[in-house]
């Protein structure tokens, strides 16, 4: 089951007042509110989970009730549940039962970056020991205790007023000064909050400060509108050479002190500051880069109050034009092509092979076509390009493209001549002894052939006027075709 941007409100059932996820099931809930549901006979006011895998993120679970255990949620003999960046408030279990917010029985769970406010009989109650991890959660106003302590780990949790904007009327956004601000972890945190606001917004001097810090606990990230600069957007490479990339972005703030630049190869942004730029800067160039390589740029706008998330974009340097290929093994209709080594491009660079004389591109199977086919040099290997005209000096060149699909110029062409065909035919009443069809390199010599008449007939001449029965053609520079003629002798009628 997947529940996105939904509201489950005011339902009742014997078990699992709002949602009942039964065994052998999985469920994902995000951007959703489960409120004012009630379980009239058993566990799980808002939701009971007895399946294999549950993920609840960026959700509000508010004011649900049950007569037994788990006012908000009940995890009951289930597989694994992960609950992250949720806000639980005012859920209630039955009197003399446990877990106003969450009740966990014989289940594994990971509960992170979540607010528990206004629950009695423990905000979280785990009936077993050491099956669940609890970290970076906020507890406030849970009179019987935050948890019964049976957690495998409970780390980095905080106490304090979340300062909801207006909980009584269902507004669980955080106000400036909330104890939830910047006390969450970035690990596994959803990229946006329940409103779709990108995390994190780091308020300097509050909670965790620094790069990739400032994640709030709960379903909402506190925005500090007008205080902390809005993040830039549209980070992208605007131009590139084989060794440099110029980046651009949109400056969305009018209150920034400057921009912090992060730069790395690959797509995983390493949180190392590469540069700091002044107000209203919208471009940055970096050089001395590797050829045909992907890089990522991150940009944060900051002032003395803080910074929002890091906007990111990636781009590629260009591929170098290839060197000339190596041509070998000519036949009258094909050449073998090997892409030249040492052009300076990385091995994952893709190439297309162009036959200048035919005006066509090599296809993956070696035939020629009008469209480019891109493969690495290793994938091309030694490709036999067929469909070439015989006895022709062919020019073959190679083009490279980078990982972003930007093509280089064609490299220099290599030249090689396809072979010539030397063909000997016999007119009626005779045969050819020797190789009647010969493939000859340009300027090469053929092997001897002899015109032999059928018994009772006589050899006359070859079609080029030669009268010796045996001939050897030499210094072949074009396709040649000769026919041996025989006389109409006694047996002519028979053999015709």
DSSP state of 169: G
Binding mask 163-182 for Ca ion (x = CB under 5 A): -------------------x
Shortest separation between residue 102's beta carbon and Ca ion, angstroms: 24
- Which uninterrupted H or E stretch holds 334? strand 334-338
Which residue among 126, 202, 211, 473 contacts Ca ion (CB under 5 A)? 202
Shortest separation between residue 134's beta carbon and Ca ion, angstroms: 20
Range 91-124 burial, b when 16+ CB lie within 10 A, else e: bbbbeebbbbbbbbbebbbbbbbbbbbbbbbbbb
Binding mask 403-432 for Ca ion (x = CB under 5 A): ------------------------------
308 vs 394, beta carbon nearer Ca ion: 308
Share in percent of the chain as helix, strand, coil (round to 5)? 0, 45, 55
Which residue among 90, 100, 207, 315 contacts Ca ion (CB under 5 A)? 207
| Alpha helices, H only, 292-358 | none
Please, are residues 480 and 420 in contact by the beta-carbon 8 Å criterion? yes
C-alpha to C-alpha distance for 345 and 291, rounded to whole angstroms? 6
Shortest separation between residue 16's beta carbon and Ca ion, angstroms: 33
Shortest separation between residue 214's beta carbon and Ca ion, angstroms: 4
Stretch that binds Ca ion, among 12-20, 21-29, 82-90, 210-218 (CB under 5 A): 210-218
Q: Is 206 in the site for Ca ion (CB under 5 A)?
A: yes
106 vs 280, beta carbon nearer Ca ion: 280
Shortest separation between residue 160's beta carbon and Ca ion, angstroms: 15
DSSP 405-426: --B----PPEEEEPPEEEEEEE
84 vs 201, beta carbon nearer Ca ion: 201
209 vs 435, beta carbon nearer Ca ion: 209
Examine residue 200 and say whether the peptide bond preceding it is cis (omega within 30 degrees of 0). yes
Backbone phi, psi, residue 378, to 5° = -65, -40
Shortest separation between residue 250's beta carbon and Ca ion, angstroms: 10
Shortest separation between residue 304's beta carbon and Ca ion, angstroms: 12
Site for Ca ion in 138-167 (CB under 5 A): none
C-alpha to C-alpha distance for 464 and 481, rounded to whole angstroms? 9
172 vs 380, beta carbon nearer Ca ion: 172
Burial class (CB in 10 A: 0-12, 13-18, 19+), 347: exposed
Which residue among 272, 280, 382, 475 contacts Ca ion (CB under 5 A)? 280
Which residue among 71, 94, 214, 298 contacts Ca ion (CB under 5 A)? 214
Q: Is 391 in the site for Ca ion (CB under 5 A)?
A: no
Please, are residues 16 and 48 in contact by the beta-carbon 8 Å criterion? yes
Stretch that binds Ca ion, among 144-152, 171-179, 213-221, 242-250 (CB under 5 A): 213-221
81 vs 189, beta carbon nearer Ca ion: 189
Stretch that binds Ca ion, among 196-204, 281-289, 323-331, 441-449 (CB under 5 A): 196-204
Range 184-209 burial, b when 16+ CB lie within 10 A, else e: bbeeebbebbbeebebbbbbbebbbe
Shortest separation between residue 286's beta carbon and Ca ion, angstroms: 22
Q: Is 276 in the site for Ca ion (CB under 5 A)?
A: no
C-alpha to C-alpha distance for 421 and 331, rounded to whole angstroms? 9
Shortest separation between residue 209's beta carbon and Ca ion, angstroms: 4
Nearest to 66 by CA among 48, 81, 87: 48
Report the residue number whose CB is nearest to Ca ion.
182
Burial class (CB in 10 A: 0-12, 13-18, 19+), 459: buried
Stretch that binds Ca ion, among 5-13, 261-269, 278-286, 416-424 (CB under 5 A): 278-286
Provide the token pair at 227: 């205080």
Please, are residues 116 and 157 in contact by the beta-carbon 8 Å criterion? no
DSSP 77-114: S-SEEEEES-EEES-B--TT---SSEEEES-EEEEES-
200 vs 322, beta carbon nearer Ca ion: 200
Provide the token pair at 395: 């020019």
CA distances to 207, 230, 246, 259, 297 from 311, rounded to whole Å, are 22, 10, 16, 11, 8
Stretch that binds Ca ion, among 261-269, 276-284, 287-295, 483-491 (CB under 5 A): 276-284
Site for Ca ion in 225-264 (CB under 5 A): 251, 253
Shortest separation between residue 267's beta carbon and Ca ion, angstroms: 25
Q: Is 216 in the site for Ca ion (CB under 5 A)?
A: yes
Shortest separation between residue 213's beta carbon and Ca ion, angstroms: 6
Shortest separation between residue 215's beta carbon and Ca ion, angstroms: 6
71 vs 214, beta carbon nearer Ca ion: 214
Where along the sequence are the contacts to Ca ion (CB under 5 A)?
182, 200-203, 206-207, 209, 214, 216, 251, 253, 280
């Amino acid at each position: 089951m997947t529940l996105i941007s939904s509201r489950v409100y005011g339902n009742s059932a014997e078990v699992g007042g709002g949602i009942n996820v039964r065994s052998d099931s999985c469920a994902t809930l995000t951007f959703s509110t489960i409120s004012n549901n009630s379980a009239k006979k058993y566990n799980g006011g808002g939701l009971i989970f007895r399946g294999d895998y549950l993920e609840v993120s960026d959700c509000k679970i508010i004011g649900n009730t049950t007569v037994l255990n788990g006012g908000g949620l009940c995890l009951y003999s289930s597989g694994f549940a992960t609950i992250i960046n949720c806000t639980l408030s005012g859920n209630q279990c039955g009197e003399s039962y446990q877990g106003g917010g969450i009740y966990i029985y014989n289940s594994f769970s990971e509960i992170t970056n979540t607010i528990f406010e206004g629950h009695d009989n423990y905000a979280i109650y785990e009936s077993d020991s050491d099956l669940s991890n609890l970290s970076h959660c906020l507890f406030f106003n849970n009179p019987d205790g935050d948890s019964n302590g049976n957690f495998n780990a409970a780390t980095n949790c905080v106490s304090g007023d979340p300062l909801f904007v207006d909980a009584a009327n269902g507004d669980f956004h955080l106000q400036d000064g909330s104890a939830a601000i910047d006390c969450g972890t970035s690990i596994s945190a959803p990229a946006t909050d329940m409103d779709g606001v990108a995390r994190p917004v780091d308020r300097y001097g509050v909670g965790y400060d620094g790069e990739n810090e400032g994640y709030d606990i709960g379903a909402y990230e506190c925005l500090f509108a007008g205080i902390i600069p809005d993040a830039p957007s549209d980070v992208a490479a605007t131009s590139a050479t084989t060794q440099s990339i110029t980046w651009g972005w949109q400056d969305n703030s009018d209150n920034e002190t400057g921009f912090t630049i992060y730069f790395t190869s690959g797509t995983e942004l390493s949180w190392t500051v590469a540069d700091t730029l002044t107000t209203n800067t919208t471009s940055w160039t970096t050089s001395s880069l590797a050829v045909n390589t992907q890089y990522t740029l991150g940009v944060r706008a900051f002032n003395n109050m803080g910074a929002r998330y890091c906007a990111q974009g990636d781009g590629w340097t260009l591929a170098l034009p290839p060197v000339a290929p190596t041509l070998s093994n000519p036949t009258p209709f094909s050449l073998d092509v090997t892409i030249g080594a040492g052009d300076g491009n990385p091995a994952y660079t893709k190439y297309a092979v162009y036959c200048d004389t035919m005006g066509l591109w090599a296809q993956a199977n070696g035939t020629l076509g009008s469209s480019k086919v891109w493969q690495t040099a290793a994938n091309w290997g030694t490709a036999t390009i067929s469909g070439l005209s015989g006895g022709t000096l062919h020019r073959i060149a190679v083009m490279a493209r980078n990982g972003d699909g930007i093509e280089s110029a064609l490299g220099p062409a290599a030249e090689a001549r396809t072979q010539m065909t030397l063909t000997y035919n016999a007119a009626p009443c005779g045969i050819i002894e020797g190789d009647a069809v010969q493939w000859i390199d340009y300027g090469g010599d053929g092997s001897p052939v002899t015109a032999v008449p059928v018994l009772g007939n006589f050899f006359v001449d070859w079609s080029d006027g030669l009268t010796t029965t045996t001939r050897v053609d030499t210094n072949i520079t074009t396709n040649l075709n000769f026919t041996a003629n025989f006389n109409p002798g006694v047996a002519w009628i028979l053999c015709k």
